[in-house]
Amino acid sequence: MTGTALIQRRLGVEQLRTLVTSAPLESAQLHDVQRASFAQHLRDVAHPGHRRLDAWAVEHARQAPRAFYWTPTAARRTIGNAVLRRAHREATALPDAVDRELAARRSRAAAGYARPGSLDHWLDGLAPAVLTLVRAEALTWVATLVECTRGLALPWAVVTSDAYYDLAGARTTLRGRRDLVVVPDERRVVVRLRSGQPGRYAGTGLRVDLLVDSLAEPSTPAAARMIGLWPEAGVALAVDGTLENLRAAARALVRTAGAPSTQAVHQAA
Protein backbone atom coordinates (compact mmCIF):
# COMPACT_ATOMS: atom_id res chain seq x y z
CA MET A 1 0.00 0.00 0.00
CA THR A 2 1.40 3.40 -1.02
CA GLY A 3 1.89 6.32 1.31
CA THR A 4 -1.15 8.18 -0.06
CA ALA A 5 -3.50 5.21 -0.53
CA LEU A 6 -7.18 5.81 0.24
CA ILE A 7 -8.80 2.92 2.10
CA GLN A 8 -12.50 2.31 1.41
CA ARG A 9 -14.84 -0.03 3.29
CA ARG A 10 -18.55 -0.64 3.60
CA LEU A 11 -19.58 0.73 6.99
CA GLY A 12 -20.85 -1.98 9.34
CA VAL A 13 -20.67 -2.96 12.98
CA GLU A 14 -17.18 -4.48 12.75
CA GLN A 15 -15.62 -2.33 10.03
CA LEU A 16 -14.69 0.63 12.23
CA ARG A 17 -12.91 -1.66 14.69
CA THR A 18 -11.01 -3.29 11.81
CA LEU A 19 -9.98 0.09 10.42
CA VAL A 20 -8.73 1.15 13.86
CA THR A 21 -6.84 -2.02 14.75
CA SER A 22 -5.20 -2.26 11.30
CA ALA A 23 -3.78 1.27 11.52
CA PRO A 24 0.02 1.38 11.12
CA LEU A 25 2.08 1.16 14.28
CA GLU A 26 4.13 4.24 13.37
CA SER A 27 3.18 7.57 11.84
CA ALA A 28 5.04 10.65 10.65
CA GLN A 29 5.80 13.70 12.76
CA LEU A 30 6.17 17.19 11.35
CA HIS A 31 9.32 19.08 12.31
CA ASP A 32 9.80 22.82 12.69
CA VAL A 33 11.44 23.19 9.28
CA GLN A 34 8.46 21.50 7.59
CA ARG A 35 5.99 23.68 9.46
CA ALA A 36 7.95 26.80 8.51
CA SER A 37 8.07 25.77 4.85
CA PHE A 38 4.31 25.18 4.78
CA ALA A 39 3.65 28.55 6.41
CA GLN A 40 5.90 30.28 3.88
CA HIS A 41 4.05 28.72 0.96
CA LEU A 42 0.76 30.05 2.35
CA ARG A 43 2.31 33.48 2.93
CA ASP A 44 3.36 33.52 -0.72
CA VAL A 45 -0.28 33.23 -1.82
CA ALA A 46 -1.57 36.79 -1.86
CA HIS A 47 -4.85 37.43 -0.06
CA PRO A 48 -6.51 40.74 0.91
CA GLY A 49 -7.61 39.65 4.37
CA HIS A 50 -7.75 36.80 6.84
CA ARG A 51 -8.74 33.44 5.39
CA ARG A 52 -9.98 30.28 7.06
CA LEU A 53 -9.56 26.95 5.34
CA ASP A 54 -10.78 23.44 6.09
CA ALA A 55 -11.49 20.14 4.34
CA TRP A 56 -14.83 21.41 3.00
CA ALA A 57 -13.15 24.39 1.33
CA VAL A 58 -10.57 22.08 -0.28
CA GLU A 59 -13.19 19.59 -1.46
CA HIS A 60 -15.34 22.39 -2.94
CA ALA A 61 -12.61 24.78 -4.08
CA ARG A 62 -14.40 25.54 -7.35
CA GLN A 63 -17.64 26.57 -5.67
CA ALA A 64 -18.49 30.02 -4.39
CA PRO A 65 -18.43 30.25 -0.57
CA ARG A 66 -21.73 29.96 1.25
CA ALA A 67 -22.74 32.40 3.93
CA PHE A 68 -23.08 30.53 7.22
CA TYR A 69 -26.07 30.80 9.50
CA TRP A 70 -27.37 28.56 12.25
CA THR A 71 -30.07 26.01 11.50
CA PRO A 72 -31.13 22.83 13.35
CA THR A 73 -29.05 20.81 10.87
CA ALA A 74 -26.00 23.06 11.19
CA ALA A 75 -26.19 22.91 15.00
CA ARG A 76 -26.66 19.16 15.39
CA ARG A 77 -22.99 18.16 15.34
CA THR A 78 -21.81 20.69 17.93
CA ILE A 79 -24.73 19.98 20.24
CA GLY A 80 -24.73 16.23 19.59
CA ASN A 81 -21.05 15.79 20.46
CA ALA A 82 -21.51 17.86 23.61
CA VAL A 83 -24.54 15.75 24.53
CA LEU A 84 -22.56 12.52 24.21
CA ARG A 85 -19.77 13.92 26.39
CA ARG A 86 -22.35 15.00 28.96
CA ALA A 87 -24.12 11.64 28.89
CA HIS A 88 -20.83 9.85 29.63
CA ARG A 89 -19.75 12.37 32.26
CA GLU A 90 -23.05 12.45 34.11
CA ALA A 91 -24.09 8.84 33.41
CA THR A 92 -27.45 9.97 32.11
CA ALA A 93 -29.71 8.87 29.27
CA LEU A 94 -29.29 10.62 25.92
CA PRO A 95 -32.72 12.35 25.90
CA ASP A 96 -32.03 13.79 29.36
CA ALA A 97 -28.51 14.79 28.33
CA VAL A 98 -29.75 16.73 25.30
CA ASP A 99 -32.32 18.57 27.44
CA ARG A 100 -29.64 19.50 29.99
CA GLU A 101 -27.21 20.61 27.28
CA LEU A 102 -29.78 22.84 25.59
CA ALA A 103 -30.88 24.31 28.92
CA ALA A 104 -27.27 25.03 29.92
CA ARG A 105 -26.51 26.78 26.64
CA ARG A 106 -29.66 28.89 26.76
CA SER A 107 -28.94 29.82 30.37
CA ARG A 108 -25.43 31.00 29.48
CA ALA A 109 -26.85 33.16 26.72
CA ALA A 110 -29.58 34.58 28.96
CA ALA A 111 -26.91 35.50 31.52
CA GLY A 112 -24.98 37.44 28.87
CA TYR A 113 -22.11 34.98 28.40
CA ALA A 114 -22.77 34.27 24.71
CA ARG A 115 -21.55 36.55 21.96
CA PRO A 116 -23.98 37.59 19.19
CA GLY A 117 -23.95 35.10 16.36
CA SER A 118 -22.80 32.20 18.53
CA LEU A 119 -24.68 28.94 18.79
CA ASP A 120 -25.78 29.64 22.37
CA HIS A 121 -27.03 33.11 21.44
CA TRP A 122 -29.01 31.64 18.54
CA LEU A 123 -30.52 28.93 20.74
CA ASP A 124 -31.68 31.45 23.30
CA GLY A 125 -33.81 33.25 20.73
CA LEU A 126 -35.54 30.22 19.25
CA ALA A 127 -39.26 29.60 19.26
CA PRO A 128 -40.32 26.36 21.00
CA ALA A 129 -41.14 24.64 17.70
CA VAL A 130 -37.68 25.32 16.25
CA LEU A 131 -36.04 24.26 19.51
CA THR A 132 -37.87 20.94 19.18
CA LEU A 133 -36.31 20.50 15.74
CA VAL A 134 -32.87 21.26 17.19
CA ARG A 135 -33.41 18.63 19.88
CA ALA A 136 -34.48 16.04 17.30
CA GLU A 137 -31.48 16.72 15.06
CA ALA A 138 -29.05 16.51 17.98
CA LEU A 139 -30.55 13.21 19.16
CA THR A 140 -30.32 11.79 15.64
CA TRP A 141 -26.66 12.79 15.45
CA VAL A 142 -25.87 11.20 18.81
CA ALA A 143 -27.76 8.02 17.96
CA THR A 144 -25.82 7.71 14.70
CA LEU A 145 -22.50 8.25 16.46
CA VAL A 146 -23.34 5.66 19.12
CA GLU A 147 -24.40 3.16 16.46
CA CYS A 148 -21.11 3.64 14.60
CA THR A 149 -19.15 2.82 17.76
CA ARG A 150 -21.34 -0.15 18.77
CA GLY A 151 -18.88 -2.79 17.61
CA LEU A 152 -15.72 -0.84 18.42
CA ALA A 153 -14.96 -2.44 21.81
CA LEU A 154 -11.93 -0.15 22.22
CA PRO A 155 -11.26 2.94 24.37
CA TRP A 156 -12.76 5.98 22.62
CA ALA A 157 -13.80 9.50 23.54
CA VAL A 158 -15.64 12.40 21.97
CA VAL A 159 -13.13 15.19 21.33
CA THR A 160 -13.78 18.52 23.01
CA SER A 161 -13.18 20.58 19.86
CA ASP A 162 -12.03 20.48 16.28
CA ALA A 163 -8.35 21.04 15.56
CA TYR A 164 -7.33 24.64 14.84
CA TYR A 165 -3.99 26.00 13.68
CA ASP A 166 -3.24 29.69 13.16
CA LEU A 167 -0.58 30.92 10.73
CA ALA A 168 -0.41 34.56 11.75
CA GLY A 169 2.14 35.59 9.13
CA ALA A 170 0.01 34.02 6.42
CA ARG A 171 -3.23 35.50 7.83
CA THR A 172 -4.68 32.00 7.73
CA THR A 173 -6.54 29.77 10.18
CA LEU A 174 -6.84 26.07 9.46
CA ARG A 175 -9.60 23.90 10.89
CA GLY A 176 -9.51 20.12 11.06
CA ARG A 177 -12.70 18.22 11.70
CA ARG A 178 -12.61 15.46 14.33
CA ASP A 179 -15.37 13.80 16.34
CA LEU A 180 -13.88 10.77 18.08
CA VAL A 181 -10.41 9.73 19.13
CA VAL A 182 -9.68 6.04 19.58
CA VAL A 183 -6.56 4.82 21.39
CA PRO A 184 -6.26 1.05 20.95
CA ASP A 185 -2.68 1.06 22.32
CA GLU A 186 0.15 3.54 21.78
CA ARG A 187 -1.49 4.63 18.52
CA ARG A 188 -4.07 7.40 18.16
CA VAL A 189 -6.80 7.13 15.54
CA VAL A 190 -9.12 10.05 14.75
CA VAL A 191 -12.67 9.57 13.45
CA ARG A 192 -14.94 12.15 11.86
CA LEU A 193 -18.61 11.80 10.91
CA ARG A 194 -20.17 13.33 7.80
CA SER A 195 -23.69 13.34 6.38
CA GLY A 196 -24.61 12.48 2.81
CA GLN A 197 -22.09 10.58 0.72
CA PRO A 198 -18.38 11.14 0.05
CA GLY A 199 -17.58 13.25 -2.99
CA ARG A 200 -14.80 13.04 -5.54
CA TYR A 201 -12.29 14.79 -3.29
CA ALA A 202 -13.29 13.18 0.00
CA GLY A 203 -9.86 11.57 0.33
CA THR A 204 -8.19 14.96 -0.03
CA GLY A 205 -10.47 16.31 2.69
CA LEU A 206 -9.45 13.49 5.01
CA ARG A 207 -5.78 14.28 4.40
CA VAL A 208 -6.43 17.93 5.25
CA ASP A 209 -8.08 16.94 8.55
CA LEU A 210 -5.10 14.67 9.24
CA LEU A 211 -2.64 17.51 8.60
CA VAL A 212 -4.46 20.10 10.72
CA ASP A 213 -4.79 17.61 13.56
CA SER A 214 -1.03 17.00 13.34
CA LEU A 215 -0.23 20.74 13.23
CA ALA A 216 -2.41 21.31 16.31
CA GLU A 217 -0.54 18.55 18.21
CA PRO A 218 3.10 19.54 17.61
CA SER A 219 4.63 17.39 20.35
CA THR A 220 3.25 14.07 19.08
CA PRO A 221 3.31 12.13 15.80
CA ALA A 222 0.39 12.43 13.43
CA ALA A 223 -2.64 10.26 14.04
CA ALA A 224 -1.95 6.71 12.89
CA ARG A 225 -5.09 6.89 10.76
CA MET A 226 -7.81 9.43 9.94
CA ILE A 227 -11.16 7.74 9.34
CA GLY A 228 -14.19 9.35 7.75
CA LEU A 229 -17.65 7.84 8.25
CA TRP A 230 -20.64 8.50 5.98
CA PRO A 231 -23.39 6.45 7.70
CA GLU A 232 -26.14 7.53 5.30
CA ALA A 233 -24.12 6.12 2.40
CA GLY A 234 -22.79 3.16 4.40
CA VAL A 235 -19.21 4.09 3.53
CA ALA A 236 -16.01 4.47 5.54
CA LEU A 237 -12.83 6.00 4.08
CA ALA A 238 -9.43 6.26 5.75
CA VAL A 239 -5.94 7.64 5.19
CA ASP A 240 -2.81 6.80 7.17
CA GLY A 241 -0.57 9.25 9.01
CA THR A 242 2.25 9.08 6.46
CA LEU A 243 4.50 11.95 5.47
CA GLU A 244 3.22 11.58 1.90
CA ASN A 245 -0.37 12.18 3.04
CA LEU A 246 0.66 15.19 5.12
CA ARG A 247 2.53 16.68 2.17
CA ALA A 248 -0.40 16.03 -0.17
CA ALA A 249 -2.70 17.86 2.25
CA ALA A 250 -0.30 20.81 2.47
CA ARG A 251 -0.21 21.10 -1.33
CA ALA A 252 -4.02 20.95 -1.50
CA LEU A 253 -4.37 23.72 1.09
CA VAL A 254 -1.89 25.96 -0.75
CA ARG A 255 -3.77 25.43 -4.02
CA THR A 256 -7.07 26.19 -2.32
CA ALA A 257 -5.64 29.31 -0.68
CA GLY A 258 -4.97 30.66 -4.16
CA ALA A 259 -8.55 30.05 -5.33
CA PRO A 260 -10.63 33.24 -4.97
CA SER A 261 -13.84 31.27 -4.38
CA THR A 262 -12.67 29.64 -1.12
CA GLN A 263 -12.04 32.17 1.59
CA ALA A 264 -14.02 30.97 4.58
CA VAL A 265 -14.66 27.93 6.69
CA HIS A 266 -17.95 26.26 5.85
CA GLN A 267 -19.64 24.46 8.72
CA ALA A 268 -21.69 21.50 7.61
CA ALA A 269 -22.83 18.30 9.25
Q: Which of 62, 17, 23, 27 is nearest to 201 (CA)?
A: 62
DSSP E strands in 95-213: the ranges are 156-158, 163-167, 172-176, 180-182, 189-193
Q: Which of 247, 154, 153, 239 is nearest to 192 (CA)?
A: 239
Measured in whole angstroms, how far is the alpha carbon of residue 237 from the centre of its chain? 14
Cα torsion 11, 17, 18, 20: sign: positive
pLDDT digits (tens, 9 = 90+) for 27-67: 999 999 999 999 999 999 877 788 899 999 999 886 766 77
Residue 242: DSSP 8-state: -
pLDDT digits (tens, 9 = 90+) for 199-226: 999 999 999 999 999 999 989 999 999 9
Number of residues written out for the chain: 269
Q: Which of 117, 191, 94 is nearest to 149 (CA)?
A: 191
d(C-alpha 73, C-alpha 90), whole Å: 25
d(C-alpha 60, C-alpha 130), whole Å: 30
* 0.85 exceeded by pTM: yes
- Phi, psi (5° rounding) for residue 166? -100, 130
Measured in whole angstroms, how far is the alpha carbon of residue 51 from the centre of its chain? 18
- Domain layout of the chain by residue ranges: 7-55+153-257, 72-143
The tens-digit pLDDT sequence of the chain (269 residues) is 567 889 999 888 788 999 999 999 999 999 999 999 999 999 998 777 888 999 999 998 867 667 789 999 999 999 999 999 999 999 999 999 999 999 999 999 999 999 999 999 999 999 999 999 999 999 999 999 999 998 898 999 999 999 999 987 888 999 999 999 999 999 999 999 999 999 999 999 999 999 999 999 989 999 999 999 999 999 999 999 999 999 999 999 999 988 765 444 444 44
- Looking at residue 7, its pLDDT comes to 94
- Phi, psi (5° rounding) for residue 127? -75, 155
